[in-house]
Every structure is written in C-alpha cells, then in structure tokens.
Amino acid sequence: MTNYEVMFIIDPVLEDEKKNATVETVQQIISADGEVTKTDVWGMKKLAYPIQKKNDGYYVVVEFKASENLPKELDRRLKISDNVMRHMIINKDEK
C-alpha cells in the first residue's frame, strides 16, 4: 500500500449537506480499495485566482493508503463531479 494525499476544492455555493456528502463520497471511493488515514477540512478559503468566476472555495485534504490503481479511479471520478472545482492527488512516498 502506498501513501497518498488528495486535496480538492468544493464549489462554495453548495449547501453544507452537499459539501459533507461530497467529502463522504470521496471517502467511500477510497475505502472501497484503500484506507482513509486522516481527513482535514480546511473550510472556506480565498482562491489564488478565480475558478469558474468564483473567488472562494471549500478546501478538504484527505490522506489515505491504497494500491496504485485507486488514484486513477479517484481522479476520473473527481473530474466528472460537478461539486468539485479542482483536485490534486499526490504520492507521498515518492522522493
């Protein structure tokens, strides 16, 4: 199992229920083939540059352990999600 970290920015205009549901969905995707070790919700932050004409975003960071195939599936699912504005998956074991 490899250590990974995913940071994603959720659309700030969503209700709190949908934001929490999006975080739960990401955790369920990871739990299907890996293990969530830590979830850190940063909350509303100012974006460095406007994304989809929005200046704020709801930041979430999830650390997890998984096989090498899971990040590809997670990336695919986050790309097609309407709730996620941006995301980045990092392999923490690479030097």
Q: Which residues of the chain fall below pLDDT 70? A: 95
The pLDDT value recorded for residue 1 is 87
The pLDDT value recorded for residue 93 is 84
The pLDDT value recorded for residue 55 is 95
The pLDDT value recorded for residue 74 is 93
d(CA 94, CA 61): 18
Which of 8, 12, 7 lies closest to 53 in space, CA to CA?
Answer: 12
The pLDDT value recorded for residue 4 is 94
Q: Measuring CA to CA, how many Å separate 62 from each of 30, 49, 54, 65, 88?
A: 10, 23, 23, 10, 11
Question: HSE (CB half, 13 Å, CA atoms) of 67?
Answer: 7
The pLDDT value recorded for residue 95 is 60
Q: Which CATH number fits domain 2-60+67-87: 3.40.50.300, 3.30.70.60, 3.40.50.720, 2.40.30.10?
A: 3.30.70.60
- Asked whether 74 and 63 are in contact (CB, 8 A), the reply is no
Q: Kindly list the domain boundaries of the chain, sorted by start residue.
A: 2-60+67-87
